[in-house]
Amino acid sequence: MKSKSYLQRLISPRIGFHYFQDTAHYTNHDLVTWLPKLIQLNAKWIILQSDSTRAIPEQFLSGLINKGITPIVQISMPLPNAPSAADLQAILGAYARWGVKQVILFDKPNMVQAWSASGWSQQDLVERFIDKFLPLAMTVAQSGMTPVFPPLQPGGNYWDLTFLRLALQSIIRRGFSNLIKQMSLSAYAYTFGHELDWGLGGQEKWPKSKPYTKLSDSQDQCGFNNFEWVQSISRTVCGKEMPIIMLGAGIKEPGIAYSPEVQIEIVQNILERLNNIPETKGISSYVQCCNFYLLAAEPGTAERSQAWFKSPDEAMPIVDFLTPEPENTDTPPSTGTVESKTSNPVVDSDQSLPIEHYLLLPQYEWGIADFHLDAARPFILKHHPTVGFSIQEALLARKITVVGGESSFPEELLDQMRLNGSIVDRISGDGTSIATQLAER
């Protein structure tokens, strides 16, 4: 194992993380809590789970994008009864407007768990999957985003390489070769307990590999280098290399994590490959990002053991190894326990201000004035601010437009906002004056 300072130098624009494996952690409070942790780990990518009926809030996505972290939205839907393209059109259109560039459609469709019992047992499984995938992928592409073919379970109930080959052939046969040019692929990077070199070189190096057959003189795609086997299929079927997103890095497989000490070595080795350190097996440039599993998870969940952060204040030792020491501190190094305390990162002054612009409206004992909402409508349409009545939420914004005089928002409060790092603009006066000022802004 190399030194802590060595690991801290292994920064790559391809480092990413999986976020919580649910859709319940997209509030402003969650953003303020976890955005600094992602910055602390030099993350540039993040995998976000999305509901098929409700979009991830715009302010959460904007907070990440404004800090140079690229969100990749994954919409995992049941098969064969997935929503139609028309059902998802509004959500996908919103994601495109809010700056999302890539959408992963489905997850592990080569596993029986992804399908209903009757859906799995019917013939032509791959063709029926493409029936569902194609309209959604076309809608993603037409929205200006990149549709990502879902990651397949290495091996899987339906052999993943066969599934992918048949799927790509089906897309081309149906006349959607242009969609192939717009698509990306994804691949799980589970090690299954193998060394990271397992399966290196793909099908070209291991031509004896056969489905569900272990040979003493051959290796297969069930390891970290699964992405190379996926790319081999793309070259063979599509005649080109496609961009690949690596998922699930740093664990053996779902539900099985490495010990803290081994995890540090595994992550170090992966980071060296991402940085193409001499004497290591570099990761090809067609890999856009490598996402570690998992930033955080709730207590009692299946993925809890694999979470880097057990809570905002408790983390696995790997976090401490990758975190620069605060300046001018005598804090001793980590003791290396399984869940060690991790210091808060030294961050820029505006890292705790994830909201770009907040329009703060007054709220009275008797309720909310309809006039303020009506007067603010042109301003909202022009500037697209987060709109609300919460001073606590407003303090999370880099720019705050305050509507109301001293009786609603004392000047001392505005001074506090400025000390917090926000740019504050007050709009006050009588009704006509407020409407005019908002329209002129």
pLDDT, tens only, 283-316:
999 999 999 999 999 999 999 999 999 999 999 9
| pLDDT above 90 (res 50) | yes
Neighbours of 332 (CB within 10 A): 6
Q: Which CATH architecture has domain 4-341?
A: Alpha-Beta Barrel (3.20)
User: Can you give the pLDDT at residue 248?
Assistant: 98
Question: What is the H or E stretch that residue 6 is in?
Answer: helix 4-8
Tens of pLDDT along 334-350? Answer: 433 344 333 333 334 44
Comparing C-alpha atoms, which of 13, 84, 123, 46 is closest to residue 308? Answer: 46
d(CA 225, CA 220): 9
Provide the CATH topology of domain 355-440.
Answer: Rossmann fold (3.40.50)
Q: Is 356 helix (H, G, I), strand (E, B) or coil?
A: strand
| pLDDT above 90 (res 236) | yes
**CATH 3.20.20.80 residue window(s) in the chain:** 4-341
**CATH 3.40.50 residue window(s) in the chain:** 355-440
pTM of the shown model: 0.78
| pLDDT above 80 (res 429) | yes
Assess contact for 387 and 376: CB atoms under 8 A: yes
d(CA 336, CA 400): 43
Query: Which 8-state DSSP code applies to residue 401?
Result: E
Tens of pLDDT along 39-48? Answer: 999 999 999 9
